[in-house]
Copies of this chain bind each other. A is one copy, B any other.
Amino acid sequence: MAATPADVKELPEAYVFVLDMPWLSADQVRVDVEEDGRTLVVSGERKREKERDQGIRYVWMERRLGKYLKRFPMPENANVEKVAARYKDGVLTVTVVKKPPEEPKKPKTVEVQVA
- The quantity of this chain's copies bound in the complex is 2
Which of B7, B59, B61 sits near A60, CB closer than 8 Å?
B7
Interface residues of A, dominant DSSP: loop
Contact (Cβ within 8 A) A57 B10: yes
Instruction: List A residues 51-67 near B (Cβ within 8 Å).
Output: 53-64
Query: Could you tell me the distance in whole angstroms from the C-beta of A17 to the nearest C-beta in chain B?
Result: 9
Add 8 more A-B contacts to A11-B53, A12-B55, A21-B90 (CB < 8 A).
A6-B62, A7-B62, A8-B60, A10-B56, A15-B59, A20-B22, A20-B63, A23-B91
Q: Which residues of A contact B (CB under 8 A)?
A: 3, 5-12, 15, 18, 20-24, 53-64, 89-91
